Structure 1
Amino acid sequence: MTEDRSGDVIVVGSGVIGLTTAVVLAESGRRVRIWTREPAERTTSAVAGALWWPYAIEPQDLARTWALRSLSVYEELAERPDETGVRMVEGVMGGTLMDEHAPWATARLPGLRASTADEYAGPGLWARLPLIDMPVHLGWLRARFLRAGGVVEERTVTDLGEARARAGTVVNCTGIGARELLGDTGVRPVRGQLVVVENPGLRTWLVSEDAESGTTTYLFPQPGGLVLGGTTEADAWSLEPDPVVAADIVARCAALRPEVAGARVLGHRVGLRPVRPAVRLERDASAGGGEQGVLVHNYGHGGAGVTVAWGCAEVVLGLVPR
Structure 2
Amino acid sequence: MPTASLSDAAQPSARITVIGAGVIGLSTAHELASAGHQVTVIHDQDPLETVSAVAAAIWFPYHSENSQAADLLLRRSLARFEQLAENPETGVDLRYGPNLEGSADEDRSWAQIVTNATEAPSADLPQIAAAGMYATVPVITMSTYLSWLHAQVQAQGVQFIKRNLQSLNDLEGEADLVVLATGLRGAELTGDDQSVYPIRGQVIRLANSPGLANWLCYDEHPHGVSYIIPRRTDIIVGGTDVANDYNLEVDAQTAEDMLSRATGLVPQLAGCEVLEHKVGLRPARETIRLERIDGHAMPVIAAYGHGGAGVTLSWGTAQHVVELLQS
Fold conserved (TM > 0.5)? yes
Residue 162 of structure 2 corresponds to 154
Is the Cα contact below 8 Å between 1:294 and 1:320 reproduced in 2?
no
Shift of 1:22: 0.5
2:149 aligned with 1:141: yes
Looking at structure 2, the residues matched to 150 and 279 of structure 1 have their Cα atoms a distance apart, in angstroms, of: 26
SS in 2 for 1:311: helix
| CA spacing shift, 1:277–1:310, aligned 2, 3 Å | same
Residue 111 of structure 2 corresponds to 105
User: For 1:198-252, what per-residue CA distance to the aligned partner results, in whole angstroms no more than 9, with x for missing partners?
Assistant: 2223210000132655x22000001231110000111111211111111111000
Residue 173 of structure 1 corresponds to 181
Alignment TM-score, normalising by the size of structure 2: 0.90
1:294 corresponds, among 284, 299, 315, to 299
Looking at structure 2, the residues matched to 154 and 321 of structure 1 have their Cα atoms a distance apart, in angstroms, of: 28
Residue 60 of structure 2 corresponds to 53
Residue 34 of structure 1 corresponds to 41
User: For 1:22-54, what per-residue CA distance to the aligned partner results, in whole angstroms no more than 9, with x for missing partners?
Assistant: 000011100000000010000000010011012
SS in 2 for 1:175: coil
Looking at structure 2, the residues matched to 43 and 269 of structure 1 have their Cα atoms a distance apart, in angstroms, of: 12
Shift of 1:100: 3.7
Shift of 1:60: 2.1
Shift of 1:321: 5.3
Is the Cα contact below 8 Å between 1:188 and 1:275 reproduced in 2?
yes
Is the Cα contact below 8 Å between 1:55 and 1:304 reproduced in 2?
yes
User: For 1:237-281, what per-residue CA distance to the aligned partner results, in whole angstroms no more than 9, with x for missing partners?
Assistant: 121111111111100001101121222111111100000111110
SS in 1 for 2:179: strand
Shift of 1:140: 1.1
Report the AA paired with residue 54 of structure 1.
P
1:313 corresponds, among 311, 318, 323, to 318
Aligned residues: 311
Residue 258 of structure 1 corresponds to 267
1:281 corresponds, among 284, 290, 309, to 290
RMSD: 2.0
Please show how residues 192-211 of structure 1 align to structure 2 within 5 Å. Answer: 192-199=201-208, 200-210=210-220
Looking at structure 2, the residues matched to 68 and 240 of structure 1 have their Cα atoms a distance apart, in angstroms, of: 35
Looking at structure 2, the residues matched to 54 and 87 of structure 1 have their Cα atoms a distance apart, in angstroms, of: 18
Larger mean Cα displacement after TM superposition, 109-118 or 69-78: 109-118
Shift of 1:176: 0.8
Residue 71 of structure 1 corresponds to 78
Shift of 1:118: 4.6
| CA spacing shift, 1:115–1:57, aligned 2, 3 Å | same
- Is there any run of 5+ residues in structure 2 with no aligned partner, and where? none
Residue 98 of structure 2 corresponds to 92
Report the AA paired with residue 16 of structure 1.
V
Looking at structure 2, the residues matched to 320 and 8 of structure 1 have their Cα atoms a distance apart, in angstroms, of: 12
2:32 aligned with 1:25: yes
Looking at structure 2, the residues matched to 204 and 86 of structure 1 have their Cα atoms a distance apart, in angstroms, of: 14
Looking at structure 2, the residues matched to 157 and 283 of structure 1 have their Cα atoms a distance apart, in angstroms, of: 20
- Is there any run of 5+ residues in structure 1 with no aligned partner, and where? none
Looking at structure 2, the residues matched to 272 and 286 of structure 1 have their Cα atoms a distance apart, in angstroms, of: 28
Shift of 1:178: 1.8
Looking at structure 1, the residues matched to 106 and 170 of structure 2 have their Cα atoms a distance apart, in angstroms, of: 49
User: For 1:267-304, what per-residue CA distance to the aligned partner results, in whole angstroms no more than 9, with x for missing partners?
Assistant: 111100000111110011333xxxx3311100000001
Quote the sequence identity (%): 37
Looking at structure 1, the residues matched to 163 and 291 of structure 2 have their Cα atoms a distance apart, in angstroms, of: 24
SS in 2 for 1:63: helix
Report the AA paired with residue 278 of structure 1.
T
Looking at structure 2, the residues matched to 185 and 208 of structure 1 have their Cα atoms a distance apart, in angstroms, of: 31
